[in-house]
Every structure is written in structure tokens, then in C-alpha cells.
Chains A and B, each alone.
Chain A
Amino acid sequence: MQLINKIIIFFVKEFKISIKNLSDLFTNIVFFFLSIFIFIFSIGPDKQVLSTFGIGILWALLLLSSTLSLKKYYHDDFNNGSLIIMHMGGLSYEFIAILKIISHFIFVQLPFLITIPIASLFVNLPYSKIILLLISFFIGSLVLSCLGSIAASMNLLNKRNFTLSSLIVMVFSIPVIIFSVGLAQSQENILSLLNILFAILLIFISISPWTSAVCIRLALANS
């Protein structure tokens, strides 16, 4: 019962912070849309071309705009001491990492899920593709949250170049990109690609809390 209370308090806190920083979220979303526009300006507004490249463009830009919010992942909690307080309150660092992944998924990635149908209008996607894109993004964004947790916790003490964390996310997200774009563009073997995506998701869910906890402990011990 106590644990559930703590979890609820955690999510209420995260919700309040994300409401306070709503302009950050909107900045990310506007970045996403603006980069779609720039992509279209650079390859030309041909409808046939756009509908073939559309899914790839959307996925790549979603990945890029989700790496923008990495600096917010653990840094504020780390700098104002909430991580230590939560740990003293009885939550282990692994559990904090899991909660953080879920809250990042809900408060940062899910708003993108709402904007995808609007964005896919610009690149002229057919209706059936949009549903597949939404499914693939729903699974893929959870993987991206896990990767973001790893990358952000690795770079907690990195004061020189924080761009490194986006590099780490992008390197490990290559299988996710391949299989989710494949899922969104496929006609027949949807189920097998979905299974592969779930397998990638399970791998990263099992790796990322432990890795993030190790990195957070390291950062707290050496800060």
C-alpha cells in the first residue's frame, strides 16, 4: 500500500513539473513540425514522392525530436537532490529508473503520438499506413524512452558536450528504426515484425533500469 502511495506521489510530481514546463513540450512538437516542413521544402512537394518517403521521414524526425528532451531526463532531479530524497524514501535506484522511463513515455512521448495523424496529413499518407505508424511508434517510443534513460544517466556528470547522449540514443535506436519503418510499410508479415519489435522492447526494458541505476550511483558518488 505504501509503495503504491509513493508511486502515485511520484507521478503527481512528474505531472506538475510537466504542466509547469509545458512550453518545452510545445517547443519539441513545433521542432518536429518545422523539420517536416523543411524536409518537404528540400525534397520538393511531389505527392508521389512524399507518400513513399513519408514514413521514413516521420520516424527519423520523431527520433531526432525525442532526443531534444534528454537534458530534462535526470538532470533536474539530480541537481536539486530529489533523486537522493526518493532513494531515502525507500525506492531503489532501479525502481526510480523504471518510474522515470514510464513518466518520460507518458509526458514526453505520448503527445507526439497525438500529433502523428496531423503530421501524416502533410506527407500524404494513406489511412491504413497511419494506424500501422501509430502502432509502431507506440512500441518504438517506449524503446526510445529506455534508451534515453541509459543515455541521460550516462551523461549526468558530462559538462563538456552533452550532444554525446543523443549520439548514444541514435546508435542504439538503429534496429528500432529499421523494424518499425518496416512494420509501417509492410503489407503481409505484420505480425512477425511486431514480434521482433516486442523482442527489442523486452531487451531494452530488461537492460535499461540496471544500467541507469549503475550510472546514477556512479554520478552521485562522484559529484
Chain B
Amino acid sequence: MLGFLINPNKFNKLTDIILKPLFYLTAVIFLIGLILIYYSPNDYQQGSTVRIMYIHVPSAWLALLTYSIMTIYSIFALAFRIPFGFIINSAVAPIGAVFTLVCLVSGSLWGKPMWGTWWVWDARLTSVAILFIVYLIIIFINYSFEKIEVKEKIIAIFVVIGSINLPIIKFSVDWWNTLHQPASISKLSSPSIDPSMLKPLIAMTLAFTFIGLIIAILRIKTEIILRKKSI
């Protein structure tokens, strides 16, 4: 049932079926999200710049999600010797890096009109910047070893050690008194955001997740083909 999560052949078979419908679904959700953003209300303090949130929050969520998936796969790959985890690591890292960069850039474009500066050395911003550098180091490791068996294991070990950063990013707004606003959507009680803004946000988050998923599937397929060729 869940064999496609660890078996390259089953993954290939499933994604051959899934890829095209997923593509159309993503396009539809993305369009709906954009329309909802167009009709969403302005914030009473921030005005129209609040619409940056609909790009900023999904990309931040995806940056963390990608790293968590990589961590889980590396632990499983190292512990149970599942080579598919290594494939995922080297395929998915650039996607995470790009989404982290999008998150950083959109955040700093949002910060300039709201906070008055492009960059603040605040706990959340700093930890996300470190996450970006960790992604970059993963990509560098990917290109600096000759043997593929060494490279993949070292990436997995590095990913596991670097996952110390994840809880720091998630809880930095709660632990330290920061300029970045605290979590308003993933609060356990009830989200402190208006439904008229929550709907486009959810649509955009879904759309971004599916976009990331499509790119990931394509990259994983390429990686599988490359490895088959090299063997």
C-alpha cells in the first residue's frame, strides 16, 4: 500500500499515473487562490501589503516541511538501509533552498514598509537564514564528493544533525520576545486570523505544496534515472 514511499519502481508507477491530474489540480487551486487574494480585504493597519503574507507563509511552511521530510527519510535510510531516502535527500534539497530564499526575500520586502528595515537580527529571521545556509551546505556536499555511496550517507548524517535547527525555528517566536509576530494559524486553540484571510491563505498553501510536490516528483524521477544509468 505505502510501498511507493520506499520503493523506486512503485514510486515511478504511481507518479506516472498521478502527475498529470496533479498538474491540472494545482493550476486550478492556484487560480482560485489568486482570485481569492484579489477579493480579500485589506488589513486595517497594513493596507495592501498584507497580501505578501499569501506568498510568505506558504513558502516558510514548505521550507520547514521539506527539511522535516528530509530528516525523517535520512533517519530511516541510515537506520534501515533504504536507498530511496538518499535519492529523496539529494533531489529535494534545492527545492527547500529555493522556498527558503523566497520566504526570506518576501519577508524582507514585507518588513521594509511595516517595520522600516529590510532585515532585523531577530530570532526567527536568523534561524531561517541559518536554515538557508544549511540547505546550501547540503547542495555543496552533493557536488563535492566523487563516490555516490559516500556522498549520500554524509548528506544524510548532516541532515540529521542539522535538524536541531527545526524546533528552534518553530518555537523561536514563543521562546523569545521577537519583532516577528507569534504563530496565528497553527495555534492549538483557534486560529486568530479572520476567515476572509484564512481562505486564500489555505488555498495558496495547498497550491504551493502541490507545486513543490510536482517539482519534487520530477526531480526524484530524474535522480532515479541517473542512478540507474550510473550502475
A residues within 8 Å of B by Cβ?
150, 154, 157-161, 164, 167-168, 171-172, 174, 207, 211, 214-215, 218-219, 222
Contact = CB atoms under 8 A, between A and B. Distances in A.
Given A171-B134, A174-B130, A222-B149, A154 B158 contact: yes
Given A164-B144, A167-B137, A171-B133, A218 B161 contact: no
10 contacts: A157-B147, A157-B150, A160-B144, A160-B146, A164-B137, A171-B162, A172-B161, A207-B161, A215-B157, A219-B150
Interface class of chain B by DSSP: helix
Contacts of B140: 161, 164, 167
In order of increasing CB-CB distance, the 7 nearest A-B pairs are A160-B144, A222-B150, A161-B144, A154-B154, A157-B150, A222-B147, A158-B144
Nearest to B134: A171
A110 B33 CA distance: 59
A168 B157 CA distance: 12
B161 A150 contact: yes
Interface centre among B134, B150, B153 (most CB of A within 10 A): B150
Contacts of B150: 157, 218-219, 222
Nearest to A170: B133
Contacts of A218: 150, 153-154
A168 B150 CA distance: 17
Interface string B126-142: 00001001100100110
Interface string B12-53: 000000000000000000000000000000000000000000
Nearest to A156: B150
A154 to B, nearest CB: 5
Given A164-B141, A171-B133, 11 more contacts: A157-B150, A159-B146, A168-B158, A171-B130, A171-B137, A174-B130, A211-B161, A214-B157, A215-B154, A218-B154, A222-B149
Contact of A157 (B130, B137, B146): B146
B118 interface: no
A167 B145 CA distance: 16
A201 B134 CA distance: 21
A130 to B, nearest CB: 27
A154 B157 contact: yes
A158 B153 contact: no
Given A168-B158, A207-B161, A218-B154, A158 B145 contact: yes
Contacts of B137: 164, 167-168, 171
A159 B147 CA distance: 11
A215 B145 CA distance: 13
Interface string B154-168: 100110011000000
Contacts of A150: 161
Nearest to A150: B161
Nearest to B133: A171
Contacts of B146: 157, 159-160
Interface string B43-77: 00000000000000000000000000000000000
